[in-house]
């Protein structure tokens, strides 16, 4: 598998809506495998295809390294859609595409999601807590929405300087990234 460069804040793919996957083929299987490798290499728990510059409705999630969630298997979701949201809770979030920026975000505490699995069969998933949060965060990516978009105008304005540095690639991360169309793989290893 291949570790793909993650697109940093400011890259156009992060603000575009991804297109539905029409079926499974070898290219899609490779993309999903590469996304899992990329996410794990960056020590993430979720990754949307937009974050690697691919505008397909594909999300990978793996929260099994966390004790409370060790029984939740890694999952790939194709064309995920939220059917129902219940309750709310606030938790600090971050994003591999927006390194070094974290903030409290209010999201639904439990959700019901429909999606296609890697056999392209329709599945329904009820998720709560961290799993629900990760799924909502990644589905937002597929819709061109960043976690920053959930912040108020004042907080967004306060982050502007840091976000401009990220947009220019003036951030140190331990994984390959893409800034202004330039892959910065070597510089960030």
Which residue in 85, 138, 172, 187 is the catalytic one?
Answer: 138
What residues form DSSP beta bridges with 91?
Answer: 105
Cα–Cα distance between 126 and 103 in angstroms, integer?
25
Cα–Cα distance between 169 and 74 in angstroms, integer?
30
The token pair that represents 45 in the structure block: 């728990």
3-class secondary-structure state, position 91: strand
User: Catalytic annotation on 138?
Assistant: yes
Cα–Cα distance between 8 and 30 in angstroms, integer?
22
Instruction: Calculate the alpha carbon distances from 9 to 35, 125, 157 in Å.
Output: 18, 30, 15
What residues form DSSP beta bridges with 58?
Answer: 78
Residue with tokens 């961290």: 130
CB-CB contact of 35 with 142 (8 Å):
no
In degrees and rounded to multiples of 5, residue 164 shows phi and psi of -65, -35
Residues identified as active-site? 138
């Amino acid at each position: 598998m291949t570790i793909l460069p993650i697109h940093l804040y400011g890259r156009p793919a992060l603000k575009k809506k991804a297109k539905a996957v029409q079926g499974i083929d070898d290219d899609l299987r490779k993309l999903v495998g590469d996304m899992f490798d990329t996410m794990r290499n960056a020590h993430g728990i979720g990754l949307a295809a937009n974050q690697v510059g691919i505008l397909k409705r594909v999300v990978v999630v793996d929260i099994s390294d966390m004790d409370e969630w060790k029984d939740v298997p890694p999952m790939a979701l194709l064309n995920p859609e939220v059917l129902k949201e219940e309750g709310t809770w606030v938790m600090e979030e971050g994003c591999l595409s927006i390194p070094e920026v974290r903030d409290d975000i209010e999201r639904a505490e439990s959700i019901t999601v429909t999606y296609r699995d890697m056999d392209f069969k329709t599945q329904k998933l009820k998720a709560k807590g961290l799993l629900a949060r990760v799924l909502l965060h990644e589905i937002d990516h597929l819709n061109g929405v960043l976690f920053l978009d959930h912040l108020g105008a004042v907080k967004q304005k306060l982050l502007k300087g840091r976000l401009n540095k990220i947009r220019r690639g003036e951030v140190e991360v331990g994984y390959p990234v893409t800034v202004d169309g330039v892959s910065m793989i070597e510089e960030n290893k």
